Chains A and B, each alone.
Chain A
Amino acid sequence: MTIDSVRGAPDTPELDRPELIQLLTPEGERVEHPDYPLDLSAEDVRDLYRDLVIVRRIDLEAVALTRQGELGLWASLLGQEAAQIGSGRALNDHDMAFPTYREHGVAYCRNVEPLTLLGLFRGVSHGGWDPKEHGFHLYTVVIGSQTLHATGYAMGIQRDGVLGTPSAAATIAYFGDGATSQGDVNEAFVFASVSNAPIVFFCQNNQWAISEPLERQTRIPLYKRAQGFGFPGLRVDGNDVFACLAVTRKALENARTGQGPTLIEAFTYRMGAHTTTDDPTRYRLKAEEESWKLKDPIERVKAYLVRNDLADAGFFEKVEDVATQMAKELREGCRSMPDPEPLAMFENVYADEHPMMTEEQEQFAAYLASFEEPASGEEAK
């Protein structure tokens, strides 16, 4: 081995030659994989389809509400539904997920109210759901930080001595392709590796970090990074809900039985803008988006259901109705969401008393009260 033989020529990146694990083709054909058998009933597949449609509708509704000025911002998951539903449905009750700010599909799987997510983007709270109740940590906005929290949590699971028992748990850390350049993500890989921690690193490679293409982050396929850290890494078709489910299940099971971390690179595409303030026409070609439309994560499940006679027109209509009703409730709920009380900003900063902050709070309360109209009776006096 020499430096020159190891260094790849710059014009032949391996990025476009994914060694992809796929169980359902874009045309809806089931493919078997010897390492990832997946036994799904017709009802299981219909449930997955319903999940996919609902989270896409939640997402579209949130984008619309942002356009209408009801939300300050929204980070759309459009195109990444299969990666999120597949991995989210692989989790059990004991597991703990650590999301970015785009994991609305995983949040749905973990029973976090979509309206609560909207509240965050509307600006009424910074999150506020109970991570312990849902097995779903708060959204993390700064890129990659949560991978270390997930690793530490996994180190805690190890110390609880539950691995390999019925109450075994694992963590799953979500992050994107851009995050793989962050120091925290690389440190998380190191800590997880040397601790052999029960964690699955789930990277949704959606090809774009705002305006920067994958080539700005890496010269090798992301899943291959794992090898250098000393644990398995693999690439899965991120638009294939079956493959995402099967591979994540296996990785989680490995983690829960003490076999250590896995990196899963879910190869997918961000069909929309980075957030509602972004304009992808400035940096990418429409043709690229069009080519990914052909790999749509929902259409292939629908094709599979139809092709195998597992669902009729009535089923698809009913799913649409459920999604539409949900969107309506979301819209109404969002519009009627009250602003927080001004003094709420002082709440929950500290668990124990903090006299300095209490003093500020009291002064501010008195200041606000000074603007209140005196009651008419008092005025007469």
Chain B
Amino acid sequence: MSTLTLGKALNEGLRKAMENDPKVLVMGEDVGKLGGVFRITDGLQKDFGEERVIDTPLAESGIVGTAIGLALRGYRPVVEIQFDGFVFPAADQIITQLAKMRMRSLGKLSLPVVIRIPCGGGIGAVEHHSESPEAYFTHTAGLRVVACSNPVDAFAMIQQSIASPDPVIFFEPKRRYWEKAEVDTDSADWAPLHSAQVVRPGEHVTVLAYGPAVKTCLEAASAAAEEGRSLEVIDLRSLNPLDIETVTKSVNRTGRCVVVHEAPVFNGYGAELAARITEKCFYRLESPVLRVGGFSAPYPPSRNEDHYLPDLDRILDAADRTFAW
């Protein structure tokens, strides 16, 4: 066991994947000598060389497009998009090419490409550095979309994603990069990549979250417990496919559900969750599924982000409101 930050756990996971499979490549802007702007790839170029850890030209479509070509030649590229708001120049290559090429080939081609995207706000950044673009990608058939929330999952899920024969969009909660936990880096006894996990059992309300919001929800659950209300927090971990069984099992028991994410609520991932839960748990629900998230406004200047991001009070408020029906 070692105490690792989430960022270091990703770094160790990448290192393991590169050691285990010589076809694994890391590519992106500044991932080589600098080790990435968040140092997630720190030291990898030194140990694996410039051919396997590629400092690319500054062009996101080019990075993903050439990663597709490398995958067609038998490599397993792990692409770093420097910030969430920079992924859009690559959206065409991801949505139009990466996601669809397997079907286009009637299964003759596999595209084992991982696209790592640091996501979410809360770090006082300038515009385009705090976004949550997951719904654009969960809406695209052919992609798998996952989001880690803690160091243990970060270490495991990055390796599982690299091993996947399908393209994976891998969201990293950038404001949690410095969170620490004990990680067993010698074990490969991991939960399946596309499983949700109950991270805090509870009785009264099911709270669904992923990525950076999970920790906020756990804090909200602690605060609620002091007031005698028991929240069950589920870390979804995988957004596409969704582990709906773990979710419905919980909601069928609690009868109440609050979904929390940083992305705008309108047409956000929570809308899909609310719809599915309504279909599958209709007769057990005591109240509508409520959503807490970003507003229908672009991500605000950082001095205002604490009001935009779901916080403990807004989560508790939503949990309270589920008892108003």
Tell whether A and B belong to one assembly: yes
B70 sits at the interface (CB 8 A) = yes
Q: How large is the interface on B (under 10, 10 to 19, 20 to 34, 35 or more residues)?
A: 35 or more
A157 to B51, CA, bound (A): 12
Q: How large is the interface on A (under 10, 10 to 19, 20 to 34, 35 or more residues)?
A: 35 or more
Within 8 A of A (CB), among B51-85: 51-52, 56-57, 59, 61-62, 64-75
B241 sits at the interface (CB 8 A) = yes
Chain-A contact segment, one of B92-100, B182-190, B226-234 = B92-100
Pick from B93, B108, B144, B194: contact of A148, CB under 8 Å: B93
Pick from A138, A154, A156, A171: contact of B105, CB under 8 Å: A138
B324 sits at the interface (CB 8 A) = no
Pick from A145, A158, A194, A351: contact of B65, CB under 8 Å: A145
A266 to B93, CA, bound (A): 27
A138 to B68, CA, bound (A): 13
| Cβ-defined contact, B73 with A160, below 8 A | yes
A282 sits at the interface (CB 8 A) = no
Residues of chain B lying within 8 A (CB to CB) of residue A57: none
Residues of chain B lying within 8 A (CB to CB) of residue A130: 105, 108
| Cβ-defined contact, B65 with A156, below 8 A | no
A225 sits at the interface (CB 8 A) = no
B1 sits at the interface (CB 8 A) = no
A120 to B197, CA, bound (A): 43
B123 sits at the interface (CB 8 A) = no
Residues of chain A lying within 8 A (CB to CB) of residue B74: 156
The answer to whether residues A148 and B68 also contact, given A130-B108, A190-B59, A191-B56 and a CB cut-off of 8 A, is yes
Pick from B56, B59, B69: contact of A153, CB under 8 Å: B69
The answer to whether residues A151 and B69 also contact, given A145-B93, A159-B51, A190-B57 and a CB cut-off of 8 A, is yes
Residues of chain A lying within 8 A (CB to CB) of residue B69: 148-156, 171
A131 to B56, CA, bound (A): 26
Query: Shortest CB–CB separation between residue B80 and chain A, in angstroms?
Result: 16
Binding site for A on B (CB under 8 A): 25, 51-52, 56-57, 59, 61-62, 64-75, 89, 92-93, 96-97, 100-110, 141-142, 144, 164-166, 194, 240-242, 244
List the 7 closest A-B pairs by CB distance, nearest first: A152-B69, A148-B65, A156-B73, A152-B66, A187-B62, A348-B107, A351-B165
Binding site for B on A (CB under 8 A): 96, 125-132, 137-138, 140, 142, 145, 147-160, 171, 183-184, 187-188, 190-191, 194, 347-352, 354-357
